[in-house]
Chain A
């Protein structure tokens, strides 16, 4: 069964360092997303991506964050200068259609720990 894969599963970094989280969405999906969950809190929407551009982003997704689809398969989330409060589980997701109507397929998550 097709699945969304994420790497790394866990990354530990120092505050101020750049981090890139990688995702391989399901191959025929057109919409891509990043969500995050700070420990003990809700899963929060960060950004959606379609047709090689951001289609929607939340207030959390500030100038420190960026997304990219550098080739035909990968979808990355970059945090330029990590802060302690960026420590969270980051989930990538993809869908065939816009998420309001169709199913999102999530990866297992990448746990980011900022020290």
Chain B
């Protein structure tokens, strides 16, 4: 079945450091890929998405590129801020199905 594997956390960085959170997936067909973020005390929010190979999703300085050849969708940000501290979830949705399959989440803490 479909699955998403995420980099294990927690990840702790200093402000302005470079962030990479790895995400790889297994799916049949051509899934859509997502990054969701959960800030403390809030629900999951869509951060960015990509619906086909080589698409780059971007939002709030975060980027992720849909790499079909490596089945990856790694999240990157050039310079993190304290306010980026949250849990980040990679997810996929196969084209014909109606459900999201999530990774286990990666806790990011950014220190001032």
Contacts and interface: CB of A to CB of B under 8 A. Distances in A.
A38 to B, nearest CB: 11
A98 B98 contact: yes
A41 B102 CA distance: 10
Interface string B76-102: 000000000000010101111111111
B108 to A, nearest CB: 17
Given A41-B104, A44-B102, A108 B94 contact: no
A113 interface: no
A105 B51 CA distance: 18
Nearest to B97: A100
A65 interface: no
B46 interface: yes
B100 A4 contact: no
A100 B44 contact: no
B42 interface: yes
B41 to A, nearest CB: 7
Nearest to B94: A100
Q: Which 3 A-B pairs have the closest CB atoms?
A: A106-B43, A43-B102, A106-B44
17 contacts: A3-B43, A33-B99, A35-B100, A42-B103, A43-B102, A45-B99, A45-B101, A93-B44, A100-B32, A100-B97, A100-B98, A103-B49, A104-B46, A105-B43, A106-B44, A108-B42, A108-B43
